[in-house]
């Protein structure tokens, strides 16, 4: 279980564990020692699967060795390396001195994982040869330097750590959605310089002109929602700030042009 799962999925997992417990005596489950004894003797394991649901020729295979695990995926007659987990005792676990807050990934360190959507500028920063990757036509790892890998992993967020940890918010990349009705509803989706969702270290401050009172504020990790009364002035300015820095400026015209929204 990754701690990024929502509570409803964790509850479902507990139900499944309870069900397995009811099957004792009917099914023989190996204990941890038996599993360890068996798998410690397996130097290389391999298994393959096909797309049985959609009945296509797409396939995937997992290859596990003592120092890495990789997933090869055949898609539209091309083969891609789409997952690479690197096992090395010299690697630093980023959660050794950092407590996950939300959307954490308690998993074996990966060089890349296509469960996440990468952009070239975020997954391939300048790394001084700690991770040498052949980008074309498929992604293949040729070498990993553990010492430099640790440094890059800790400094080059979100490289290998795609949790929305507290980073400076990028004003241009952050997104705002506004709707106007009986209330003015604003959704702020904070993003960092890598265009990844990011928690905001400081509380969001809302400045309004003319002044609006009784603003409801509902923060949710990198998402922030505001509901405020709509008194329908001719012009309404709303400024979202954090740590005395402007994140977004919003200009509205609720009385005569409620459809017009200027966001800067």
Band of the pLDDT at 71, cuts 50, 70, 90? Answer: confident
Query: How many whole angstroms separate alpha carbon 169 and alpha carbon 211?
Result: 25
pTM assigned to the model: 0.48
Question: pLDDT tens across 167-208, in order?
Answer: 678 888 899 999 999 999 999 998 877 676 776 666 788 999
Question: How far apart are alpha carbons 5 and 7 in whole angstroms?
Answer: 7
pLDDT in tens, 82-138: 777 776 666 666 666 666 655 555 555 556 565 554 444 444 444 444 444 444 444
Strands 59-64 and 68-75: antiparallel
Please tell me which residue, 79 or 161, carries the higher pLDDT value: 79
Distances (CA, A) of 197 to 60, 103, 146, 207: 29, 10, 27, 23
Domains parsed from the chain with CATH numbers: 42-155 (no CATH), 175-263 (2.60.40.10)
Give dist(CA 62, CA 46) in Å, integer.
6
Percentage of the chain exceeding pLDDT 90:
23
User: CA nearest 102: which of 166, 8, 194?
Assistant: 166
Q: State the Cα angle at 261 between 210 and 233, rounded to 5°.
A: 30
């Amino acid at each position: 279980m990754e701690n990024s799962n929502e509570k409803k999925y964790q509850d479902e997992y507990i139900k499944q564990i309870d069900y397995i417990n009811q099957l004792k005596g009917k099914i023989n489950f190996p204990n941890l020692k038996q599993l360890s004894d068996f798998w410690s003797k397996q130097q290389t394991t391999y298994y393959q699967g096909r797309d049985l649901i959609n009945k296509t020729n797409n396939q995937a295979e997992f290859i596990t060795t003592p120092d890495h695990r990789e997933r090869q995926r055949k898609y539209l007659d091309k083969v891609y390396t789409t997952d690479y987990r690197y096992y090395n005792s010299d690697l630093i676990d980023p959660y050794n001195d950092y407590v996950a807050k939300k959307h954490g990934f308690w998993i074996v360190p990966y060089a890349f994982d296509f469960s996440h959507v990468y952009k070239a500028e975020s997954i391939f920063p300048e790394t001084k040869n700690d991770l040498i990757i052949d980008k074309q036509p498929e992604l293949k790892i040729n070498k990993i330097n553990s010492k430099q890998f640790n440094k890059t992993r800790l400094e080059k967020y979100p490289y290998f750590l795609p949790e929305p940890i507290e980073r400076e918010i990028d004003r241009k990349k952050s997104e705002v959605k506004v709707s106007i009705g009986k209330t003015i509803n604003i959704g702020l989706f904070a993003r960092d310089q890598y265009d990844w969702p990011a928690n905001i270290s400081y509380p969001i401050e809302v400045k309004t002109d003319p002044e609006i009172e009784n603003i409801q504020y509902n923060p949710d990790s990198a998402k922030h929602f505001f509901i405020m009364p709509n008194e329908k002035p001719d012009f309404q300015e709303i400024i979202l700030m954090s740590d005395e820095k402007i994140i977004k400026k919003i200009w509205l015209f609720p009385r005569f042009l409620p459809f017009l929204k200027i966001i800067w």
